[in-house]
């Protein structure tokens, strides 16, 4: 399966509670991540993380699946065309 360029958007509902779990998953898939940006949204007590990735659809599915199972975390992804 061919790797494709894409992005992952992550909203972390409770930074103090979920951030360590999110970071563990991101570390596990670090070889897929080309860039990462994290912005705390203090007024809403949440954070937004964007990732630029180079991965297969299976790899993205595994990454987003693990992130999506963390309570209070929302995740969406998209891959570019081949």
Region 27-52 average pLDDT: 95
pTM recorded for the entire structure: 0.91
Checking if the pLDDT of 53 tops 90, the result is yes
Kindly report the number of other CB atoms within 10 A of residue 8's CB atom.
Answer: 24
Full domain range(s) for residue 26: 4-79
Provide the mean pLDDT of the chain. Answer: 94
Kindly report the number of other CB atoms within 10 A of residue 68's CB atom.
Answer: 14
pLDDT tens, position by position, 6-37 = 999 999 998 888 989 999 999 999 999 999 99
Provide the number of structural domains found in the chain: 1
Query: Which CATH number is 65's domain given?
Result: 3.30.70.1150
Kindly report the number of other CB atoms within 10 A of residue 26's CB atom.
Answer: 20
Residue 21: enclosing H or E segment and its boundaries? helix 15-28
Closest CA to 22 of 39, 8, 36, 10: 10
């Amino acid at each position: 399966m061919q790797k494709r360029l894409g992005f992952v958007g992550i909203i972390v509902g409770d930074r103090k509670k979920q951030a360590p779990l999110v970071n563990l998953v991101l570390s596990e898939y670090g070889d897929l991540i080309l860039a990462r940006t994290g912005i705390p949204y203090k007024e809403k007590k949440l954070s937004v993380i964007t990732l630029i990735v180079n991965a297969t659809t299976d790899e993205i599915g595994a990454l987003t699946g693990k992130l999506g199972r963390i309570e209070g975390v929302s995740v969406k992804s998209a891959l570019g065309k081949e």
